[in-house]
Amino acid sequence: MDFFIVTGASKGIGFELSIQLRSKGNKVIGIARTVPADVEGFIATDLAQTAGLVELIDTLIDENREMATSFTLVNNAGMVDPIGLIGSVSADEMITAMAVNLTAPMILSNAFIAKLNDFTGPKRIVNISSGAGRNAYEGWGTYCTTKAGLDHFSRVVALEQENVEYPVRIVSIAPGIIDTGMQETIRASQKEAFPLLEQFIDYKEQGLLSSAEQTAEKLISFMENEDFQVVGPIADIRNF
């Protein structure tokens, strides 16, 4: 049985990934700050509190090692706040965003690779990135930086794993513009904090946003059909 760990699994892409992967007969553990009611296979964990993440990964792998034929970690959790020009945002919000968007995925990936060092089956890490990590946007200083960091971290891991006997394959993939709570947060911001506000409002009004359900379907198809080593560590779902 294929085993998946999905962060940010209580809503949006993460929730759809968890539900759809489970419907295909996979074992899925969703990690989120809040756990959906009446849904099994979720663990309540605040990724901004990074101290217990290594132990969490170790426990999940230990509990599922005997039955798992493959392991996949999907680092999906992310936050767009704080939105605002640098010089006007909250330092505390920057620290939280750095932890959720970058520090937690790095720690989880590090623990995942270490714990599965001698596992001979397929091992994969899917980092959900963003075009914001590849382009600069005013008002998204923290978000752009963390996603760029996630991309570059993925490049380093891919390079390191080239010389490992049982390598972990990794890809940092941008999912496109999706109609999720993050988009609601963006549209609720002020133009002085985010100069591209009207453009993102237009995306919604013109029906240009993909649904979380559609995006999850595309991501699952990507994971099922693409060779991560061939694709390389940086990808965009719209190219597949």
pTM over 0.95: no
Residue 28 counted as domain residue: yes
199 domain-assigned:
no
- Residue-level pLDDT at 189: 72
pLDDT, average across residues 36-49: 89
Residue 202 lies in a domain: no
| Residue 69 belongs to a domain | yes
- Compute the radius of gyration of the chain from its Cα atoms: 17
Q: Examine residue 158 and state whether it is found in any structural domain, yes or no.
A: yes
Does a structural domain hold residue 187?
A: no
Q: Which domain holds residue 104?
A: 2-178+211-239
- pLDDT at 200 exceeding the cut of 70: no
Average pLDDT over residues 168-187: 81
Structure tokens at 186: 């963006």
Asked whether 201 and 187 are in contact (CB, 8 A), the reply is yes
Alpha carbon distance 217, 31 (integer Å): 19
Of residues 74 and 183, which shows the higher confidence score? 74
The set of catalytic residues is 143
One-letter amino acid at 44 equals A
| Residue 130 domain-assigned (yes or no) | yes
pLDDT of 225 > 60? The answer is: yes
Q: In total, how many domains does the chain have?
A: 1
3-state helix vs strand vs coil in the chain, percent to 5? 45, 15, 35
Residues in Cβ contact with 206 at an 8 Å cutoff, skipping those fewer than 6 apart: none
Instruction: Confirm whether 18 is domain-assigned.
Output: yes
Q: How many Cα atoms occupy the beta-carbon half-sphere of 30 within 13 Å?
A: 25
Instruction: Tell me the angle at which helices 212-225 and 12-23 cross, rounded to the nearest 10 degrees.
Output: 50
CATH at residue 81? 3.40.50.720
